[in-house]
Amino acid sequence: MGITLIRGKYVISEITGPSSAVVLSDGAVCQRDGEIIDVGPYEELKERYQYDEIIGSSSFVVMPGLINDHSHVGLTPFQHGSPDLPLELWGFSRMRAKDVDPYLDHLYGAALMIKSGTTTVQALHLPAKGKGPFDLENSEKVIQAYRESGMRVSYAPMLANKDSLLVGAGGGEDEFAADLPEDLSRRFKELTAPSYLPAEEIIAMVGDLYAKYYERPEEKIRVTVAPSNVHRCTDDLLVGLRDLASKYETGIHIHLQETIYQKLYGLRTWNKTPLQHLEDLDFLGPDVVCGHGVWATDEDIETMASHGVSLCHNASSNLRLKSGIAPVNYFLDRGLRIALGSDEAGLNDDKDMVQEMRLALNIHRVPGVDKTPPTAHQIFQMATVNGAHASSFGDRVGTLKVGKRADIVLMNLENIEKPYLNPEVSIIDAVVHRGRSIDIDTVLVEGEVIMRERKLTQIDEEILYKEVENMMARSPTEDELDRRDLAEKIEPYLGNFLEGTLPSSDQTHYYYNAKY
């Protein structure tokens, strides 16, 4: 690969505080064989090294690659025909979707992410999609898609053995099925039964995957642990997966209190929140990332802080599915490390992490002067170094410092600065406030250019899009038609199970308006 100089009008090396960063003007990064070996003034580095190529110019800002710490699929649920609905209804709506080839699906997702400057993804994948708890072949297909894309991936098979579709104040799937007509109840239980195996069987199934990547590691691949959600796992599965992560020295990513119904289920089942139940199981630690955390209580926040737990904030998803707004201001007050994710799609259905940063910047601006919202520097930190930690790549990427791997993005400044931008505006603020994914020009991962002048180098987009189009053009299978029929017949009963169960309370973290 040799030596490359990556230069720009600005080089963002690292964030050092809520309003401070190490930024070099007319700077450059020198990488050799995927490792950053020097960062400094461009003219000095140009004289110091025998380089093979110079990438960039004074028209760019050079910055760490963005990290999407919570992503599931390539084709979005909306593309499959599912409208935005509350999560508990949305899950049934998604049953209408056709099955996809996980390789093509995630290669398509990788193409979208690279074009918005994302170099690392935490891929939370359902490896068997209702046909069982785990499928090794499908898992390897997803990993291969990211391997071929050039991206860095932290792959986690999402595992569950109960209540994977529905919970609420009235209980879980057993309680819901009890109120269905007999034939519909039977079909509903048959749908989920293949995945609901004893914990020891599930853990035995996934052991080979973790052993393989632990014993023969690859620089750009991590395999992490993902219990799907607290209510979706029996206690012995949660404990077993906690032990698995410790054995293979890898991270854990678990959905937590994404919706009010998940919180209410915890109060009904354990007389405490799901987070506090994890505390009882000795599950929590600095290697744990909780996805969403929208309905975290003050006690939950204190508990997470005391264990060094990280949060992944998925602002777009929480808006689209009516889940709420995570109390990020309070997370920051308690020193929680927060990463960012697009979840299934992002606001524009395109996994755009530049836009996700801007949404996260603006959505926590509650009325009044008493509460300080996140700064652009904090948001940029969430999308880079915090995401690196949360995806188990914290020692490798997230900053542009000597010794780190060369995951680098060049953003064109023309649209950001033209026709005028006060030179006193920090480049961090400029990127987060005014940058767009269309401004991402070049992307490197491990020192290799995977997008140059907005053209992907590892993926032929025209061929890929045609293959995805052909994949989705087929007629539905009998299994898919049966799922669709079941979803349509079950949906009228969901309202009876969920409606009228929300508590009336004004004890909120954020205060946006008032009735009187």
| Structural domain boundaries in the chain | 3-64+403-456, 66-390
Positive or negative, the CA dihedral 185, 186, 190, 195 is: positive
pLDDT at 456: 99
- pLDDT surpasses 60 at 122: yes
Helices (H), 37-181: 42-48, 87-93, 102-115, 136-149, 173-178
pLDDT band of residue 71 (cuts 50, 70, 90) is very high
Q: What is the mean pLDDT of the chain?
A: 96
**Span 393-415, average pLDDT:** 98
Residue 80, judged by CB atoms within 10 A of its CB (0-12, 13-18, 19+), counts as: middle
CA 278/CA 299 separation, integer angstroms: 13
CB atoms within 10 A of CB 284: 21
For residue 370, what pLDDT is reported?
A: 76
Greatest CA separation for the chain: 79
**Is the backbone of residue 81 left (phi > 0), alpha (psi -120 to 50) or beta?**
left
Give the type of residue at 291: G
Amino acid identity of 474?
R
Is the CB of residue 203 less than 8 Å from the CB of residue 244?
yes
- Which SS3 state, helix, strand or coil, does residue 12 take? strand
User: Who contacts 476 (Cβ-Cβ below 8 Å, separation ≥6)?
Assistant: 98, 484
Q: Kindly report the backbone phi and psi dihedral angles of residue 382, in degrees, each rounded to the nearest multiple of 5, phi listed first.
A: -60, -40
* Residue 511 pLDDT > 80: no
Positive or negative CA dihedral for 461, 465, 467, 468?
positive
Which residues pair with residue 313 across a beta bridge?
A: 340
User: pLDDT digit string (tens) for 437-461?
Assistant: 999 999 999 999 999 999 999 999 9
CB 378 within 8 A of CB 332: yes
What is the pLDDT confidence band of residue 506, given thresholds at 50, 70 and 90? low
Q: Which tens digits make up the pLDDT trace of 466-488?
A: 999 999 999 999 999 999 999 99
Which tokens sit at 249? 């020295």
Q: Where are the alpha helices (DSSP H) in 405-508?
A: 414-417, 427-434, 461-473, 478-498
Tally of CB atoms within 10 A around 137: 9
pLDDT bin (cut points 50, 70, 90) of residue 508 is confident
Count Cβ atoms below 10 Å from residue 367 Cβ, excluding itself.
10
CATH topology (fold) of 3-64+403-456: Urease, subunit C; domain 1 (2.30.40)
Average pLDDT over residues 422-432: 98
| Residue type (1 letter), 99 | D
- pLDDT confidence of 186, banded at 50, 70, 90? very high
Tokens at 62, concatenated: 């050079």
Checking if the pLDDT of 38 tops 60, the result is yes
Instruction: Kindly give, in sequence order, each residue whose CB lies less than 8 Å from that of residue 407, ignoring residues fewer than 6 positions away.
Output: 64, 65, 119, 120, 152, 397, 444, 445, 446
Query: Does pTM top 0.95 for this prediction?
Result: yes
- Within 10 Å of residue 86's Cβ, how many Cβ atoms? 15
* Residue 223 main-chain phi, psi, to 5 deg: -115, 115
Q: How many Cβ atoms sit within 10 Å of the Cβ of residue 177?
A: 18
* pLDDT (average), residues 223-230: 98
Distance CA 138, CA 105 (A): 11
Kindly report whether the peptide bond that precedes residue 374 is cis, defined as omega within 30 degrees of 0.
Answer: no
What's the confidence (pLDDT) of residue 490?
A: 93
Confidence of residue 387 (pLDDT cuts 50, 70, 90): very high
- Position 130 scores a pLDDT of 75
Quote the Cα angle for 317-227-289, to 5°.
60
CA distance 14 to 464: 35
Q: Does residue 192 register a pLDDT over 90?
A: no
Length of the chain equals: 516
* Pair of tokens at residue 395: 């020692």
Give 165 or 180, the one with higher predicted confidence: 180
Residue 129's pLDDT band, with cuts at 50, 70 and 90, is confident
Which CATH code fits 66-390? 3.20.20.140
Percent of the chain with pLDDT over 70: 99
Q: Which residues neighbour 327 within 8 Å (Cβ) at sequence distance 6 or greater?
A: 294, 296, 301, 509, 510
pLDDT band at 304 (very low <50, low <70, confident <90, very high): very high
How many whole angstroms separate alpha carbon 377 and alpha carbon 176?
45
What number is the average pLDDT over the span 108-123?
99
Predicted pLDDT of residue 505: 65
Residue 191: the pLDDT is: 87
Q: What is the predicted pLDDT for the residue at 502?
A: 83
In this prediction, residue 244 carries a pLDDT of 98
Confidence at residue 509, expressed as pLDDT on a 0 to 100 scale: 85
Provide φ and ψ at 41, rounded to 5°.
-60, 135
User: For 378-391, what is the mean pLDDT?
Assistant: 99
